[in-house]
Amino acid sequence: MLSSFWPFLRSRPGLPDGVARRIERWRSLAEYDRDRLPVSGRWVVVDVESSGLDAINDRLIAVGALAVVDGAIDLSDSFEVILHQDVPSHDDNIEIHGIGGTEQAQGLDPREALAAFLAFVGKDPLVAFHAPFDSTMLRRAIERHLGVAFKRPWLDLADIAPLVWPKYASRLSGLDDWLQAFSIPTAFRHRAIADCLVTAQLLVMVLPHAAAIGATSAGSLLGMSGADRWLSPG
């Protein structure tokens, strides 16, 4: 009783009951075992849309997440939420992610949205291309709205893809380069969930090569990612 009550106390006071319960449930989940979790376990590919490119000062507008389990992208194991904004982001920003002012105003209470995100992710490792931006954005938003320290292991494909395909590494830098090189269709990019879909396709191309670059577990693959070294909880 106490053990489940204790983390609740650490959360931000005044949270709606449902949100508080979700946080509690998330905290009580067993931490994933870095060294035993196989590469074929669940990965959650994450992409965020924000009011700008400053991870510290800009606001989180939308979160998309898509799970890869056993090397397959499960379209039904996916998540997308738009966070309510009192003041919509600038027009030129809206052009990037396509989430208009009305949509932003009709978004979900950020506390509900982020609690739902925690429930979706669980304690599974996260994946992004150029992970520091997404991870910082999420960590700050979750701390601010939920009072939860969100220090999670991230796999940064910007680090891993060059290890898998070293001969491309010098020619390819951004996500777009990689997508183009592997003919990953990008018909509807820059919505969070759409970017998750293309990133997930890059991930499932990477995973079969994990053993070839010396990764025997999800943890050792994470260990090769610079993002993980900066952001890992331990």
Partner 1 sequence: MNERQPPPLLTAATADVLRKHAPFDAMRAADLAHLAAGLKLRYFAKDTVILSPESGRIASLFIIQRGAVQADEPTRVSLNAMAATLTDGECFPIGALIASRPTTLRYRALNDTFCYVLDEPRFREVMARSPEFHAYCTRRLAALLAASTKGTREAYSSRAADELTMASPLRNAIRHSPVTLPETASVRQVLELMKSRRIGSIVLTGEGGRPAGIFTQTDVLNRVALAGQPLDRPVAEVMTRAPATLSAGSALSEAAQLMARRGFRHVLVVDGEDFLGVISERDLFGLQRLSMQGLRKDIGRAETVDALAFAAREVRELGTAMLAQGVAAEQLTQFISALNDGITERAIELALADHDVAGTGFCWMGLGSEGRNEQTLATDQDNAIIFPDGEGDDREATRSRLLAFADQVNRALDACGFPLCKGNIMARNPAWCLTLGEWLARFDDWIRNSDPQALLNASIFFDFRSLHGDATLVDRLRAFLLENVKDRPVFLRQMAANAVQTRPPLGFFGDIVGGDGGTVDLKRQAARVFVDCARILALANGVGAVSTTERLRATGPKVRMSEDEVSTAIDAFQFIQMLRLRAQDSLDRGTGAAEPNRIDPDTLNGLDRRILREALRQARKLQNRIGLDYQL
Residues near partner 1 (CB under 8 A): 64, 66, 71-80, 119-120, 182-183, 185, 187-188, 191, 193-194, 197, 200-201, 204-205, 208
CB nearer to partner 1: give 119 or 226. 119
Pair 56, 140: CB distance under 8 Å: yes
Q: How far is CA 210 from CA 4, 71, 117, in A?
A: 37, 11, 27
- Nearest-5° angle of CA 142, CA 196, CA 128? 60
Q: How far apart are CA 146 and CA 176, in angstroms?
A: 33
| Least distance between partner 1 and beta carbon 231 (Å) | 25
CB nearer to partner 1: give 77 or 143. 77
Phi, psi (rounded to 5 degrees) for 48: -120, 155
CB nearer to partner 1: give 32 or 182. 182
Q: How far apart are CA 18 and CA 218, in angstroms?
A: 32
CB nearer to partner 1: give 75 or 105. 75
Q: How far apart are CA 22 and CA 16, in angstroms?
A: 10
| Least distance between partner 1 and beta carbon 79 (Å) | 7
CB nearer to partner 1: give 166 or 233. 166
| Least distance between partner 1 and beta carbon 76 (Å) | 5
| Least distance between partner 1 and beta carbon 208 (Å) | 6
CB nearer to partner 1: give 55 or 194. 194
| Least distance between partner 1 and beta carbon 71 (Å) | 7
CB atoms within 10 A of CB 40: 15
| Least distance between partner 1 and beta carbon 150 (Å) | 19
Pair 214, 234: CB distance under 8 Å: no
Here the tokens at position 196 are: 């998750």
Q: Which stretches of 145-204 are assigned E, i.e. beta strand?
A: 154-156
Q: How far apart are CA 194 and CA 189, in angstroms?
A: 5
